Amino acid sequence: MADLDEDGAEQLFQYIASALEDGTEEGDSDVPFTPELEERVDDSGTGGVETITRQEHVSEEDHRFERHISFSYELEQGAEEVTPDMIQIIDPNAYSTGMPGFNWIDRGTSGNYDEETEEVEFYTNGEWEIHFLYKGEEVHFTVLDDWFMTLDPQGILDDVPVVW
């Protein structure tokens, strides 16, 4: 279990407060979801594993605080773009790394394809589990949260072999 001093505990709470601002607004329960992203592609060409990361509040004296969305995928043979009919997203999940004393517990992660931007926006909901020692006392609580992260599909396409 992490043993945090006053600066470490303050930094952890700042990170979690920042993360709480990234989700939906209170009363907003209408998060778009594109179920076609999880359907099998007709003619699978290549696949892989992708992780997108958001790194926050990093300076020389700060601990890292990173949030990640990771998933496997299959692309349609010959795909030149990432659209719901060209990709299958498999087992998307969210997690956190970095500073000691916290953990993201993923309760569900899904993707939505934005036709305007041609990006996949992932939405995850779950809770932050805060657990550390402070001045010899155990601090443990959870906070419900949700957040978004956007995938630039060009990253996947750049990894596709030139010759299929």
Q: How far apart are CA 135 and CA 14, in angstroms?
A: 19
150: Cα separation from own chain's centroid: 8
**For position 161, what pLDDT does the model report?**
61
pLDDT, tens digit, 9 for 90 and up, residues 46-59:
889 999 998 876 56
CA distances from 59 to 6, 11, 22, 79, 87 (A): 18, 12, 21, 39, 37
The model carries a pTM of 0.85
Q: How far apart are CA 86 and CA 78, in angstroms?
A: 9
Q: How far apart are CA 111 and CA 8, in angstroms?
A: 33
Residue 121: CB partners within 8 Å, gap ≥ 6? 32, 111, 112, 114, 148, 149, 150, 151
Q: How far apart are CA 107 and CA 86, in angstroms?
A: 27
Nearest to 19 by CA among 70, 69, 56: 56
Residue segments in the chain with a per-residue pLDDT below the cut of 50: 164
**For position 153, what pLDDT does the model report?**
85
| Cross-strand pairs, 54 | 67
**For position 27, what pLDDT does the model report?**
52
**For position 158, what pLDDT does the model report?**
78
Q: How far apart are CA 35 and CA 16, in angstroms?
A: 30
Cα radius of gyration (the chain): 18
**Residue 160 DSSP class:** S
**For position 98, what pLDDT does the model report?**
87
